[in-house]
Structure 1
Amino acid sequence: MSRFNDTLRTQRWDDYRYYHQSRINQTLHLISAVIFLACYALLFKDPATAGLIGWLAMLTRQTGHFFFEPNGYDSMNQATNEYKEAVKLGYNQNRKIVLLIVWGLAPFALFFFPTLFGIFAPPVGRFDFVRHVGLVWLVIGIGGGLFRMMQLFMTRGVSTGLVWIFKVLTDPFHNIALYYKSPLALLRGELIDTSIANADWNDEEVEEAAHLT
């Protein structure tokens, strides 16, 4: 259990310092986390709506990453963006693009194949179509998480994959606890979370990052 907690803290710290320096991104993650909690609450009661809400939360998060997070040389961590993308355990930018393309194509697939080869009953009106989209999006979201977990099982070990999937599932709670002050910091004109530069991390990681850059 101690090793699990240590690995979880390391994954969360790397995610924070490498990919959540922007206060705008942090604020969008806070909003996304609240939306994800609503998705969790609806997951077993109304999975179709949960799928729609879950991807609204996901788009909110990815907007922060794609448009507001610095992508150049990371002077806080002495690492290039290429290095950070290479070592990221979860979905780096290229993987996210593939996942978002699959997500975006789902409504078109349902438009041309309304029953999705017999999985659904023929939709009666737009409402049924939207609910079918929500269910497919839910499957894509869950499938994307499980697929990456299996990849980590094979490339980084089972324990790393299990810690990562636990991190992903509990990120909404952690994001709220971590970023609830970010909107106020943003209103004060603080665009970058400078506290990251003053935090401590393993010296070996810093040396490795500097070497690989």
Structure 2
Amino acid sequence: MTFLEELQKQRWDDHRFYHHNRINQFLHLLSACCFVASYILIFYSPAAAALVGWLLSMTLRQTGHFFFEPKTYDKVNEATHDYKESIKVGYNLQRKVVLLSIWAAAPVVLYFSPNLFGLLDVSGVTFEQYLNHVALSWLFIGFGAIIFRTLHLFKLMGVQSGCVWFCKIVTDPFHDIKIYYKSPYYLLKGEMYDEMTDWYEETPKETVKAA
């Protein structure tokens, strides 16, 4: 596959396997809007960008995955939850638990050790400085998680697949807005689950077959 074909495949797999629930799609729409705001903020206030990205965007996004997305047998794709977890290119739910645990631990560590066990040249800090340190640590955790998984995919699947995933994860907010902007409309209609037909019909045949 070319780079663009593989990007389409990874996006299609992510959508059809992990975004059946309309509430999850709506939360992803809200999360995507917050991420776009975070992308803008990072040029003006990296700390604020991190707070918006983690506290709003990631909380909304992962709430959809953990609490609303079904974990039962997927009749649409004829796949078990365990199978989908095993082929997930990015962070599956198990990996997300590890990542979110690191994210949650950062404020606790910085509270009890503001100088990060001697790595930082700081003594006492105000609450505002503490909050800024937490936000910046979250920013590094986010960047680190993306870089780590990209390099890991270089080894597991090849350089192109890793670069494709990197491109996908960075552009996901814009793509989520594009494909989930109608989610509030479907929820108002009382439709709770996506049958995965609209995008399938719009996807190039060879890409769908490869998926």
TM-score past 0.5 threshold = yes
The RMSD of aligned alpha carbons is 1.7
- Maintained 8 Å contact 1:32/1:172: yes
Residues 1-213 of structure 1: pairs in structure 2 closer than 5 A: 3-56=2-55, 57-116=57-116, 117-119=118-120, 121-122=122-123, 124-196=125-197, 199=200, 202-203=208-209
- Maintained 8 Å contact 1:120/1:132: no
The structure 1 segments of at least 4 consecutive aligned residues displaced by more than 6 Å after TM superposition are: none
- Maintained 8 Å contact 2:20/2:69: yes
| CA distance in 1 between partners of 2:199 and 2:130 (Å) | 50
AA at the equivalent of 1:96: K
Any stretches of 5+ residues in structure 1 without a counterpart? 206-213
AA at the equivalent of 2:87: V
| CA shift for structure 1 position 98 | 0.2
SS in 2 for 1:174: helix
Q: Deviations over 1:106-138 (max 9, x none)?
A: 001101111222425345321111111000000
Q: Taking every aligned residue pair, what percent have the same amino acid on both sides? A: 50
| CA distance in 1 between partners of 2:177 and 2:210 (Å) | 30
Cα distance change, pair 121–158 in 1 and its aligned pair in 2 (3 A): same
| CA distance in 2 between partners of 1:204 and 1:135 (Å) | 40
| CA distance in 1 between partners of 2:102 and 2:42 (Å) | 21
Please identify, of 40-49 and 115-124, the stretch whose mean Cα deviation from structure 2 is larger.
115-124
* TM-score, scaled relative to structure 2: 0.91
Cα distance change, pair 36–29 in 1 and its aligned pair in 2 (3 A): same
Cα distance change, pair 188–146 in 1 and its aligned pair in 2 (3 A): same
Any stretches of 5+ residues in structure 2 without a counterpart? none
